[in-house]
Structure formats: structure tokens, C-alpha cells
Structure 1
Amino acid sequence: MLIKECKGFELEKEKSNTSEDFFNRSEVTFIENGEEKTLHVLYVRYFDEILQEFTPYSQDPILADQGLDVTFKDIVALVCLLKNPGLRGRKRLYINSKHDFAAYFQDIDFSKLPEVFQSLKQKNSYELRSPLEFILQPK
């Protein structure tokens, strides 16, 4: 699988009676078997405020190195896809439960994420051989 892009953003109200400003969207675009797909993950914005409960990061941007600024929103869809490769066949995922959200981040090897984003910046893609490379294995 070839990862092409990982990005996230805050939703803004389009109408005064909607609740979009309580949510963030994270997207990962990838190519599998010659077909480009995008997984859109919609989640409660509050989870950004407590990112240290799910990750080793304590602030946003989570990665700021060599001209690379990666926010928590940028990694959510990627982490979901890595943790559950079955999501490759889905276009959208909605997460409003803190428990469900935390489960996606459990056992993720966060030390490998900078490699993905460096490759995306330099080569505009990242070759994902196996999602298992990003899952911490029990010793």
C-alpha cells in the first residue's frame, strides 16, 4: 500500500444550528491495487485536548522537526488504518467514544510515525509494507 497524504483539520460551522465546530476530520489517502482511496475519520474535537491520554505527545504540533509540522489531527486517520487494516474498504469512520478512540492508539509504535511524514514530505509518498510494523509486539 502506498500512503499518499495524511492531513487533518477542524470543521467549521456552515449553519448556525449545526454542531460541526465540535468535530475534527482526519484523512489518509492511499493507493492499493492501483486504486486511490481516502479514509475520512470524523471524531470529537475534545480528543485533541487530551491527546496525552492516547499518545506519548504532550502538545500540538506533535512532530516539529526539520521544517515538518505534524498535528495530532494529521495522524488520526493513519493510526486508525494501521490499527485496523479492514478500514481500507471504508470511506468514512465516525468516533465519538473516548474508549473506542483510545483503542485505536493502543500498542501503536509512535517512534515510526516521523518516518512516514518525512517520506511524504520528501517523496510525496510512503510505501507501507505491513501495518504490523507500526504495532508494538508483546515481548
Structure 2
Amino acid sequence: MEIKNFTGRQLEKSVPASPEDGFIRSQVIYYEGSFEQVFQLVYPEYFNRNFSTVTPFEKEPVISSDPYNYDFKEVAALALLLTNPEYKQQRRLYVPDWDQFASLFEQVQWDTVENVIKELLEYTP
């Protein structure tokens, strides 16, 4: 797996003032062989506010590598995919349950995630 890009963003509500939940989409674009693949992790926005309970990080940005700073939503899908490569079989994972969401990050080696990001930055023109 060769990682091309990773991002995260808040999705727009259909009606800005509606009481519906907001959602986060964390995404990784990578190459598997010669094919470009996309993996998306989608979860309710309020999970993002509690990331410190499932990571060793207290505040954002969670990973900094001069001159870049990455928030949890930007690295969540990358961390999940690095820890659980079996998710490469899925294109999209929607997680509406907090307990399920928290369990996804129990085995993440955050040092590994940070090292992968730093390696990507070294080779990015």
C-alpha cells in the first residue's frame, strides 16, 4: 500500500440550522498495486470532540510536522487503515456508535501513524 493523500473534513448539513447531526469524513487515497483506492471513515461530528478519550492526545493538532499540523479528523482514517489493513476491502466505513468508534482506535500505534506522515512529507514535492 502506497499512500497518496489523506484528508478530513466536516460534511455540510442539508439545512444549516437543522437539528440533524453533523458528520466528519476522514479519507485516505492510496495505491494498491497499480490501482488507486479510496477509504473513507464517516462518523458523527460529536465523536470528534471526544477524540482525547480514544487517543493519547489532549488537544488538536494531534500530529505536527513542520510546517504542517494535522487534526484528528485528518488522520483518523489513516490511523485505522494502518492498524487494520483488512479495511482495504471496504471503500467506506460508517460508524454511528461511540463504543464501536472507540474500539476502532484501541490498537492504533500513534507513533507509527506519525512516522508514516513524516515519511510522506519527506517525499512530497
TM-score normalised by structure 2 residue count:
0.88
- Deviation per CA, 1:26-46: give whole Å up to 9, x if none: 001111121110011110111
Report if aligned partners of 1:11, 1:24 keep a CA contact under 8 Å in 2.
Answer: yes
Q: Identity over aligned residues, as a percent?
A: 29
Gaps of 5+ in 1: 125-139
Partner of 1:42: 42
Task: Say if 2:79 and 2:110, in contact at 8 Å, map to a contact too.
Answer: no
Question: Which amino acid is the alignment partner of residue 57 of structure 2?
Answer: Y
In structure 2, the partner of 1:23 is: 23
Other-structure match for 2:75 = 75
The equivalent residue for 1:134 is none
Say if 2:10 and 2:23, in contact at 8 Å, map to a contact too. yes
1:62 counterpart residue number: 62
Deviations 1:98-129, CA, capped at 9 Å, x for gaps: 111111111211112221111222213xxxxx
Q: Is the 8 A contact 2:41 2:93 kept in 1?
A: yes
Counterpart residue type for residue 67 of structure 1: P
8 Å contact from structure 1 (residues 79, 104) kept in 2: no
Aligned to 2:51: 51
Task: Tell me how many residue pairs correspond in the alignment.
Answer: 124
The reply on whether 1:84 has 2:84 as its aligned counterpart is: yes
Query: What is the root-mean-square deviation in Å for CA atoms of aligned residues?
Result: 1.9
Aligned partners of 1:92 and 1:80: how far apart in 2?
Answer: 12
SS across alignment from 1:55? coil
User: TM-score, with normalisation over the residues of structure 1?
Assistant: 0.80
Q: Quote the Cα distance in structure 2 between the aligned partners of 1:117 and 1:110.
A: 11
